[in-house]
Amino acid sequence: MNLGEFTGVKLLGALVLGAAVVTGGLYFTVFKSQREANAAAQTKLEAKQRENRELEAYRPKLADIERQLASLKQQLEIERRIVPDEKEIDNFMRMVDGEARKAGVWVRRYTSKPYSAKEFYTEVPFEVEFDGPYYSMLGFFDRLTKVERIVNVSGLAVASTRKPSDAHAKHTYQYAPGESVVATCLTTTYFSHDLDPAGPAAQAAPPAKK
């Protein structure tokens, strides 16, 4: 068929019909897919807006929640200092030795005793041998009551420097003129329950302090 045979009206009608067919094809393919994608995006947007509105109700409480978390973290740090974990054993011995020196007594020996595991914590006792002036010994015990870490003292045995064996001292030392007493006691500290009572630290006694 020759295009020249179409009259102006027929040609216009053919063009309109062709445009309608193309438009219909686009409507049921490209435009429909885009419309469905837009509808899905709109659904997600509305869901996110609902979620944001629900979360908005908690905004005034956020500052209180943050303060509570900060307080809990602070309490946890304090508890860790009071009842630390196994790696703090050396620090415990240094702490006791430091308080002894401040009080004016000399720690001669630490002897590790068997650990005792409880439900939430583990008791770790050390026998401590020391000597010094009598009132310095009292000051040493007073200092131990004031340290941040929990320390329990029991089984105290005291003797004069002339007969240290009465206090279960393992050795006799060259005591200074001002020293009047030798003493041994059991100092017990506490560790968090994740400490393994059967671990290497429970088997080995710390070196003697001189």
pLDDT of the residue at 199: 43
Residue ranges of domains in the chain = 6-56, 86-203
Worst-scoring range by mean pLDDT, 4-13, 27-36, 108-117?
Answer: 4-13
The percent of residues in the chain predicted with pLDDT above 90, rounded, is 29
Model confidence band, residue 197 (pLDDT cutoffs 50, 70, 90):
very low
Return d(Cα 47, Cα 70) in angstroms, integer. Answer: 33
Q: Which of 169 and 3 is assigned the larger pLDDT?
A: 169
How is domain 86-203 classified at the CATH fold level? Alpha-Beta Plaits (3.30.70)
Residue 76 has pLDDT above 60, yes or no: no
- Residue 165 gets the label, from left (phi > 0), alpha (psi -120 to 50) or beta, of alpha
Task: State pTM to two decimals.
Answer: 0.55
| Residue 71 predicted with pLDDT over 60 | yes
Across the range 59-72, mean pLDDT stands at 69
Q: How confident is the prediction for the chain on average, in pLDDT?
A: 76
- Whether 150 and 83 have beta carbons less than 8 Å apart is answered as yes
What pLDDT is attached to residue 106? Answer: 94
Mean pLDDT of 20-47: 68
Give the pLDDT score at 15.
Answer: 61
Give pLDDT, residue 153.
92
